[in-house]
Structure 1
Amino acid sequence: MNLLSAISKLIAIEFKKSRHKHSLLLLVIAVVLNYFYLFHGNAPDRQAWYNVFYAIPLINTLILSVLMAVLASQSVDMEHKGNMWNLLPTLESRASVYLGKLLYGFIHLVLFCLLQMGMVILMGSRLGYEGNIPFSLIGTTFTAELVSGMIVYQLQCLLSLLFPSQFAALSIGFGGTLTGLFLAYVSTKAWTPWSVLLSLSPIGMDYQRATRSMTLFLRQLTPLEILTALVYLFGIFLLGLYLFTKTEQGALSIGTGRQKASKSVHSGLPVELIKLKRNPIWIPFLLIPLIPAVIGTFNFTQNQGILQNTWEDLWTQQSLFLGIFFLSPLVGILCSLLWRMEHQDSNWNLILTVTTPEKLVKDKWMTAVLLSSVCILWIALIYLFTGKIILRLPGEVPELFWIRMLGAAVCLAAVSAVQSMLSMIFRSFAVPISLAFVGSIAGLWLTVKGAYYAVPYSMLIYGMGSSSITGELNVPVLLASCCFYVLAALTCSIIFLKKTDVRTHV
């Protein structure tokens, strides 16, 4: 009874801690994104209900995984500040703290699933879907999302415990999400924790290559699929419980050990690069582009009956999801990391005693531009190496590819300016990253509608040419739009810095 009382009290505390972190707004945004993917512009047919419940695991392997990663980061990050990991056990048991965090995530997950299924029932009835409401599919999908969502949430809590810098935990989470999404086009087996939702899908798909037709059918979950999901769920839970209850602050934290001191404080490096010197920031910028390249190349070689053996189709396979969904959040992670030190203690006011708002904003933006440009160069090198050395594709690389790469670098400069501004305004590490993810999905919709210039995220999708490297590219409009967003974001950032101190925006 005492444990239940302690857990309920800790759940209330978790919600109080998240009052200004917009967690409920994130749930609403996730449901809205589900609506646009499942229903907006989709005409109903005979298999309308099957189409919806086949699409839900696909879209939520992306959306739900990111949502759980952001919620876990917000929940655990506060305990890394000060001596909270050692202070809390003097008030409640470590097991209670851990269970309180899990129930906090579980409540958010249940709310999301209820809102989502309510929307599915409402829209299916309103659009006149053929047949009765499939409550069995609703129940199966609801349960699958609860199980897979908690697997990802527990895993992200564990990563956030091990890595005091949420940059590392979120980077791993995004890399895992990207892997799970790509594996959906190769296999429905739960090869990773992020693939569990797809493995529990109640609807299967039969694709006939000869006729290029797709048929959806009701499938029964196998005992192995259910067992694999339960092993992930309880295995990660027990591992997390052990580490949360047995770990003193800093005992297991990765990257917090003793480091060799720099030879001189007055380094020749710019200040923002010095602050990143001990951060393994190169890891996500190296691995996240590499993951879709490897899986995309495999998919390219295995689907030569559908794809052509050309440079254009290889680029589509390697860069589609990377350019549309993950490059902008990756820059968002970097910008949140760059502003993290200013949001701690009284550093916000202290830093302005030794520099000007203009220089601070400019340095952070230029650092983000430098690293994002290196990332674009890395993406290009992977593409060229794969095509020329591994696959030995015929012909030459499309001439427009080089313009696309320059355009992508310019667009990332605009994204960096906007994300730097958001990371400065929001003290939460994870909120600006989730906004970058939402912006990427909105950008995809705007690009499809032809309004690629509307937001920086849509300009990146258009400029990078992830869906078609040889498609239309209006360079003057792209450059003008990027310049506008860079100047607007930097100007707003400088004005905000001049008018705001740490006390007025807590």
Structure 2
Amino acid sequence: MANEFAKMRRLRVVPVVAAMVVGVVALSCVTFATPGFMGWVEDPSEQPWHWLLGGLSLAVPMVSPILLAVLASRQVDIEHQGNGWLLSQTSGLTPGYLCRVKFVATGAVVVAATLAQSGLVFALGKLVGITVAFPAGQWFSYTASIVAVNLVLFALHLLLSARIGNQLVGLGVGVLGVFVTVSSTGMPTWLAHFFPPWGYYALATPVDAREGGVVALDPPHLSVITLGVAAGVLFMFITRRFDRQEA
């Protein structure tokens, strides 16, 4: 684990994570430019927190898929370039075990970045003067759902990058994922279920803008939990298979 964190420093992981956080926060705060928003900060009927939460739920799926692909690629490409798989295996660390260690180490960074995004958007909402009641339940449940979806997507890209030496493939999937994610926002809920994990960004969306204003939704949190459990089992199964392969 310590070795993986040491690799992260050399791989410039911090700038990639910082770009993800800054990108999400910046796009979320476009909400501040909504006509009349600054006049709603003290009006409970206008639900300014829900507008800001809506901005966050639009920003996350536009930024995360590509940068998570970049993050996974950087973590694995060093093993392909330096024959690290073989070196680790001679030290008793199988490829599958190394993938699991990478997931835990870098996954902790992904979780921290996702929590930072949510916290910074909340802090900026306070900074601009929003004084109405904070919808803690919706905000925290959305943050937890996005943590789960981000981890699932990161695991997918980690396996893809480990299996395919050409890292352009993983990055191409990341770009394609943005289009799938954006498209899934207009899909019926039942259809979005068939595009994991990208469609689950849309499923986790807690609010929606309508003609009369912003309305709260009832996201299928059980679906996100099921995705996380299924992805965890599948990740363990695939990396166990990696354990039986020669580097």
Equivalent-residue separation in structure 2 for 1:100 and 1:125 (angstroms): 38
The aligned counterpart of 1:229 is 227
Equivalent-residue separation in structure 2 for 1:117 and 1:111 (angstroms): 10
Equivalent-residue separation in structure 2 for 1:63 and 1:165 (angstroms): 22
The aligned counterpart of 1:201 is 205
In structure 1, what residue type is equivalent to 2:143?
F
In structure 2, what residue type is equivalent to 1:226?
V
The aligned counterpart of 1:191 is 194
Q: Deviations over 1:336-376 (max 9, x none)?
A: xxxxxxxxxxxxxxxxxxxxxxxxxxxxxxxxxxxxxxxxx
Higher relative contact order (CA 8 A, sep 6+): 2
Determine if the alignment matches structure 1 residue 25 to structure 2 residue 15.
yes
Structure-2 change in CA distance of 1:49 and 1:74 (3 Å): same
Q: Deviations over 1:421-466 (max 9, x none)?
A: xxxxxxxxxxxxxxxxxxxxxxxxxxxxxxxxxxxxxxxxxxxxxx
| Equivalent residues, number | 233
Segments of structure 1 that go 5 or more residues without pairing to the other structure are 1-10, 208-212, 250-506
**Normalising by the residue count of structure 1, what TM-score does the alignment of the two structures yield?**
0.43
The aligned counterpart of 1:144 is 145
The aligned counterpart of 1:344 is none
| TM-aligned CA deviation for residue 149 of structure 1 | 0.6
Structure 1 or 2, whichever has the larger Rg, is 1
In structure 2, what residue type is equivalent to 1:85?
W
Give the conservation status (yes or no) of the 8 Å contact 2:16–2:67.
yes
SS in 2 for 1:39: helix
Give the conservation status (yes or no) of the 8 Å contact 1:151–1:236.
no
Equivalent-residue separation in structure 1 for 2:233 and 2:62 (angstroms): 23
SS in 1 for 2:9: coil
In structure 2, what residue type is equivalent to 1:218?
A
In structure 2, what residue type is equivalent to 1:90?
T
Determine if the alignment matches structure 1 residue 80 to structure 2 residue 86.
no
Q: Deviations over 1:57-95 (max 9, x none)?
A: 322112111121111101111111353222212324325
Equivalent-residue separation in structure 1 for 2:136 and 2:100 (angstroms): 31
Equivalent-residue separation in structure 1 for 2:128 and 2:112 (angstroms): 24
Equivalent-residue separation in structure 1 for 2:159 and 2:81 (angstroms): 17
Equivalent-residue separation in structure 1 for 2:165 and 2:20 (angstroms): 27
| TM-aligned CA deviation for residue 122 of structure 1 | 1.4
Give the conservation status (yes or no) of the 8 Å contact 2:149–2:224.
no
Indicate the RMSD between aligned Cα atoms, in angstroms: 2.3
In structure 1, what residue type is equivalent to 2:80?
H
Structure-2 change in CA distance of 1:67 and 1:240 (3 Å): farther
What pairs up with 1:97-496 in 2 under 5 angstroms?
97-188=98-189, 189-192=192-195, 193-203=197-207, 205=208, 207=210, 213-222=211-220, 225-249=223-247
Structure-2 change in CA distance of 1:123 and 1:227 (3 Å): closer
Give the conservation status (yes or no) of the 8 Å contact 2:54–2:206.
yes
The aligned counterpart of 1:395 is none
Q: Deviations over 1:180-202 (max 9, x none)?
A: 22221234423321121221222
The aligned counterpart of 1:446 is none
**Normalising by the residue count of structure 2, what TM-score does the alignment of the two structures yield?**
0.83
Equivalent-residue separation in structure 1 for 2:29 and 2:70 (angstroms): 26
SS in 1 for 2:89: helix
Q: Percent identity?
A: 22
Determine if the alignment matches structure 1 residue 56 to structure 2 residue 60.
no
The aligned counterpart of 2:71 is 71
Please identify, of 240-249 and 55-64, the stretch whose mean Cα deviation from structure 2 is larger.
240-249
Equivalent-residue separation in structure 2 for 1:54 and 1:184 (angstroms): 12
In structure 2, what residue type is equivalent to 1:161?
A
The aligned counterpart of 2:43 is none
Give the conservation status (yes or no) of the 8 Å contact 2:61–2:201.
yes
SS in 2 for 1:217: strand
In structure 2, what residue type is equivalent to 1:49?
W
Give the conservation status (yes or no) of the 8 Å contact 2:64–2:150.
yes
More helix by share: 2
Segments of structure 2 that go 5 or more residues without pairing to the other structure are 41-45
